[in-house]
Structure 1
C-alpha cells in the first residue's frame, strides 16, 4: 500500500511486482501452448513449460536490478525460466517473440485481472446510489451553483447524478477491459515466427484476452483506451466524493460518512470526524489525470519499436490502476453506509423559492436507465 499512498489501498496484490512477474510467466507459458496448438512446439514441451512457469518464484527485486542492464525484465526472467527447464525443452520458450510482446501481454493481463474487483466495487456503488436515489426521491434540499445556494432540488436527484456518472464510467471501463489485446509481433512487428499470423487467435484464446488485428508495438491505442476509461472512472468517483465532503461540512451537515471505530479522528481535535473515505477517493481522482497524461505522451513512439516512450508507460499505468482500485473500494464503502439528514436539508431551504416535482421525475428517468442497463447485461 505504502505509508504515503492511502489513496491506492486495496490493489497492491493485484498490481504489485509479484503479480507482474506472474503475468510475464503466464504470457510465456501461454505462448508455448498456443504454438503447440499450431503444431510448431511439441505438446509435451508446452505442458512442461507451463508446469515449470507456474511453480517458478523469481525475486522481483533481483529481476529489477538485472533489468537495468537489459532495458526490461523479460531477459533476466527468461534466463531463470530456461535454467529451470531441461535444455531440450528450454529451446521452445519465447520462440518468435520479442521482449515487448511479453511485457505488453503481461500488462494487459495484469490490467484484466486487476479490473475485475474494480468493476465489482463499482457495481456495489451503483446499487447503493440507486437505493439512495429511490429512497430520497422526494427529499428536498438546496441545490448549489458556484458554491452558493441556488434553488430547491432533491437529494434523490443528486444521488441520481452520481449514479449516472458512475454508470457511464463503469460501462467504459468494462468495454476497455474486454478489448485488452495480446501482443505478438516478433522482432519488428512482422510476426515472422513459426505459425505466423494464425498464432494470434490461439494466443489470445489461451489468455482470455482480445485478438488484435495487427501487432501494436508503436500503436498504443489499447493503453490509451484503458487510461481514458480509468480517468473517467476516477473523475466520476471524485465528483461524488467532492460533493460528500462539502455536504458533510459541520456548517451544512446534510450527509455523513459511515462511522467506524477510529476512522476520521484528528490528532489534536477530539470533536472532529473527518470524511476520510471521500478524501481517499478525491485524492486518487486528483492524481490519475497526471499519470494518464504520461500514457498519452507515450503514444508518439517511432517506427516499429519505441525508444523510451514504451518504457515510460509502465509505472504510470500501474499507479493509475492502483489509484482507481483504491477509489472504487472506498466509494463502495462510502455509498453503502452514507448517512443522510433530511432535516438539515429542509432547514437549508429557508428563503428559497421553487418546486421539486421535475427533480423527482428526472430521478425516475435515471433509475429506469440504470435498471434497463442491468437488465440488458443479464445473459
Structure 2
C-alpha cells in the first residue's frame, strides 16, 4: 500500500504516516502520561514516572524534528519484528518498551539490532522474564486495554494531520484570492449545461471556487475539533480497572476531551472527518474539471503549467496535455470511495470487534496523503497557469451575441409585447443568428414585431445596441467581491 501511494506523498505527510514511527511515538506519550496521572493519584509508587520518562527522554526530545533519529527507527523495526511473531502490534510495543526500561542501554541496543529473528525473540523474552511485580516496567500499560493507548494517540495523529491539511488549504485560498483579484473585470462567457449562457468574469468564477474551498476548510476543521477526544475506560468502557479520575488527569495532560466509549471511541468521529475530506476532494475535482474544460483546444482560455522539458504525448509531440488537472479528478474517486468504507466501519459488533482496524490502517494514510497532494497540485496550477484574456473575449462572440437574449426579451416585454410572443421572437432570432452567422442585433431589428416597434418609435435601435454592452452585465461585480470580503481597492 505504501509503495502504491508513495508518489503522492509529501515529505511532511510521509513523516506522519509512512511508517509506524509517529504512531509508536504517540503511544509512548500516552503511556507516560498515564504513569504520571496514576502517580499523581498515588496509585503507583512515587518516582516511577520520572525514572521511566528519563529512559525515553532522548526519544521524546527528538520527535519534533522532521527526521526521526536512527535509534527510534530501529526501535520501530524491533516492534514490527515482534508483531510478526505475536500478531498484536500494541502488545509488541509494550514488550519492547518494557525491555527498554529493564535492560541497560547497551543490552537493549544489542537486542534491537539483532538480525536473527530467533535470537531476537529469545533476548526479548529473557528480558521480559525479569519484569517483576512492583518493578517500574510492570506499571507500563498496567490496567489498560489496547485502545486506551491507541485512541488518544490516533486523535493526536489526526490533529497533526488535519493541522497540516488546514495550512495547505490556506495556501490554496490565497492562490484563488490572488487570481480573483487579478482577473476582476475579465469578461468571459458563463456556461450552463455546457452551453454559452450569459457574461461573467473570470474573477467571479475564481470567487465561486474560493467560497467552496473556504466552506470545506471550515467543515474539516470543525469535524477535526469534534474529534479532539480520548478514552481510558477499559476493555468495555466501564472503568473496570482504572477509575475515571485517571482518565480525567490524562485528558488534561493531552488536551483531549473524554467521551462515552466502549473498548473504542465510536468510529463516526473519524468517519465525519473522512466524509468532509471526500466533499473537499469533490470540490477540488469541480475546480479541476472547470479548468480542464477551459483548457480544451477549441476553448483555449487557460493552460495548466507545462515545463520547459516536459513531454505531453509519446506519440504526438505537439500536445500539452492537462495531466495535473486530470490527476486531480481521478484521485477524488479514491477519497470518496474511502468515505463510503469509513461509514460502513461504524457498525462494529457490540462493544468492539476488529473489522474496522485493518481497513482504517489503509484509509487514514491514503486519504490524508491524497488530499494533501491534491491541495498541493491545485495550488500550483492556480498560481502558475496561463490565462488567455483575449480568447475569453473572443469566445463571448462565438454565438453572435445571442447570450444577451434574456435582456432582449425583457426589453420587448417592457415595450408592450406579450411574454410568450417576446420569448418566441427572441428565440427565433437567436437561432437564425447562429445559423446564418450574423450578429443578433442585425437579425432582431428586421424581425416583426420588433421592426414595427422601431418604425413607430416605441423602440430605438440604440436601445437594442445597448443590450450588447457586456460591461452592463457585470455592473454588480463589486457587490459580489464585497460579499467575498474583498474590497474594491484590493490589488494583487
Shared fold, TM over 0.5:
yes
- In structure 1, how many angstroms separate the alpha carbons of the residues matched to 2:276 and 2:293? 26
2:343 aligned with 1:293: no
Cα deviation for residue 340 of structure 1 reads 1.8
Per the alignment, do residues 16 and 269 of structure 1 end up closer, same or farther by CA in structure 2, a change over 3 Å counting?
A: same
Change (3 A) 1:253 1:37: farther
Q: Secondary structure at the match of 1:151?
A: strand
Shift of 1:43: 5.8
Q: Does the 8 A contact of 1:140 with 1:153 survive in 2?
A: yes
The aligned counterpart of 1:91 is: 138
Q: Which residue of 2 aligns with 1:134?
A: 181
1:190 aligns with 2:190: no
Kindly indicate whether the alpha-carbon contact (under 8 Å) linking 1:29 and 1:53 is maintained by their aligned counterparts in 2: no
Cα deviations across residues 248-274 of structure 1 (Å, max 9, x unaligned)? Answer: 222222122234444564334333333
Q: 1:279 to 1:22 in 2, by over 3 A?
A: farther
How many angstroms apart in 1 are the aligned matches of 2:378 and 2:45? Answer: 49
Aligned 8 A contact 2:184 2:202 in 1:
yes
Counterparts of 2:311 and 2:43, CA distance in 1? 60
SS at match of 2:185: coil
Shift of residue 304 of structure 1?
Answer: 1.3
Q: Which has the higher contact order (CA 8 A, sep 6+)?
A: 1
Which of 75, 96, 116 is the equivalent residue of 1:80?
A: 96
Task: Write the distance in 1 (CA, Å) between the matches of 2:381 and 2:257.
Answer: 38
Q: Deviations over 1:136-179 (max 9, x none)?
A: 22111122222333222211121111101110111111122222
Contact 1:82 1:93 in 2 (8 A): yes
| Residue 307 to residue 273, structure 1, CA distance change in 2 (3 Å) | same
Unaligned runs of 5+ in 1: 372-379
Aligned length: 368
Q: Give the whole-Å Cα distance in 1 for the aligned partners of 2:246 and 2:253.
A: 11
Question: d(CA) in 2 for partners of 1:264 and 1:107?
Answer: 42
Residue in 2 aligned with 1:108? Answer: 155
Residue pair 1:242, 1:278 contacting (<8 A) in 2 also: yes
3-state secondary structure, aligned to 1:304: coil
Q: Normalization by structure 2: what TM-score?
A: 0.68
Query: Which residue, out of 212, 222, 231, partners 1:165?
Result: 212
Q: CA deviation at 1:334?
A: 2.0
Q: CA deviation at 1:319?
A: 1.1
Question: Residue in 2 aligned with 1:215?
Answer: 261
Give the alignment partner of residue 154 of structure 1, picking from 191, 194, 201: 201
Work out which of the two has the higher radius of gyration on C-alpha atoms and give 1 or 2. Answer: 2
1:359 Cα deviation after fit: 6.4
Residue 363 of structure 1: how far off its partner (Å): 3.3
Q: Does 1:40 align with 2:87?
A: no
Give me the whole-angstrom Cα distance separating, in 2, the residues matched to 1:9 and 1:263.
Answer: 21
- State the partner residue of 1:26: 29
The CA deviation string for residues 55-80 of structure 1, in whole angstroms up to 9 with x for no partner, is 34456566456446655410111110
TM superposition shift of 1:115 = 2.1
2:481 to 340, 355, 364: 364
Kept after mapping to 2: 8 A contact 1:160/1:366: no
Where do 1:208-357 residues align within 5 Å?
A: 208=255, 210-215=256-261, 217=264, 219-263=266-310, 265-350=312-397, 351=399, 352=401, 353-354=403-404, 355=470, 356-357=473-474
| Structure 2: runs of 5+ lacking an equivalent | 60-71, 103-130, 405-469, 488-492
Q: CA deviation at 1:218?
A: 5.8
Matched position secondary structure for 2:191: strand
Displacement of 1:278:
2.3
Residue 12 (structure 1) aligns with: 14
CA distance in 2, matches of 1:248, 1:42: 70
Deviation readout 1:283-314 (Å, 9 max, x if unpaired): 32121011111110010012112241344322
How much has 1:279 moved relative to structure 2? 3.1
Question: CA separation in 1, counterparts of 2:315 and 2:277?
Answer: 36
RMSD, aligned α-carbons: 2.7
- Equivalent-residue separation in structure 1 for 2:31 and 2:190 (angstroms): 56
